[in-house]
Chains A and B, each alone.
Chain A
Amino acid sequence: DADVTQTPRNRITKTGKRIMLECSQTKGHDRMYWYRQDPGLGLRLIYYSFDVKDINKGEISDGYSVSRQAQAKFSLSLESAIPNQTALYFCATRETELTGYTFGSGTRLTVV
């Protein structure tokens, strides 16, 4: 099993629909992150969480919300999807500041 699992892998949804992207990890790390990747822009941070009770906005949180249901689970929601949220979304976990992230395989989301 992968250390960080994202579901679904691919999703096409219509403008205005609510959609949830799920992430679970088996690393036992407290820190979890959601990033989106767009061509030419690299990865940008949406939300991050240091534990179940700690949720923080990243640089592009507008239009998104998150839920940390347990240490191992961190889901990202688009309340009302719009086409410019079409992107590749990555969940990641990290043990400490000095260790690299472990990323999931990504969710490719298309909003039509």
Chain B
Amino acid sequence: DQQVKQNSPSLSVQEGRISILNCDYTNSMFDYFLWYKKYPAEGPTFLISISSIKDKNEDGRFTVFLNKSAKHLSLHIVPSQPGDSAVYFCAASEETSGSRLTFGEGTQLTVNP
């Protein structure tokens, strides 16, 4: 039972354009959402997060949008750069879980020069 799903295994965009990575979840108790980026041979690194009391959080080129009614969040990267090429994981947690994260399957983003 996959509670966090990233339905696109891969995404390819041109440098300078917008990258939109999507994530859906089924557990309505999730109240905190995070995005991680992973390069080959490295551990995932924390990118950006959003609490369920917000619908948008922005950090430089990265913006995360949360639509609670649709149980959907997305990560926007504008403008995309070749160095953004990595696997992006969506993750979610609920207050009662003791800070355990449930991860999606990941989306491989490739930004072409």
Contacts and interface: CB of A to CB of B under 8 A. Distances in A.
Interface of A: 4, 31, 33, 35, 40-45, 48, 50, 56, 58, 90, 92, 94, 96-106
Interface in B47-64: 49, 51
Interface of B: 4, 6, 9, 32, 34, 36, 41-46, 49, 51, 89, 91, 93, 95, 98-106
Nearest to A56: B98
Given A42-B89, A97-B93, A97-B95, A102 B103 contact: no
Contacts, number: 62
Residue of A42, A44, A45 most packed against chain B (CB within 10 A): A42
Nearest to A95: B99
B43 A103 contact: yes
Binding site secondary structure of chain A: strand
Nearest to B3: A59
Nearest to B94: A97
A31 B93 CA distance: 15
Given A48-B100, A56-B98, A97-B93, A40 B44 contact: no
Contacts of B4: 42
A41 B105 contact: yes
A104 B43 contact: yes
A42 B43 contact: no
B43 A105 contact: yes
Contacts of B89: 42-43
B46 A100 contact: yes
A102 B36 CA distance: 10
B34 A100 contact: yes
Given A97-B32, A97-B93, A98-B32, A45 B46 contact: no
B66 to A, nearest CB: 15
A106 B38 CA distance: 11
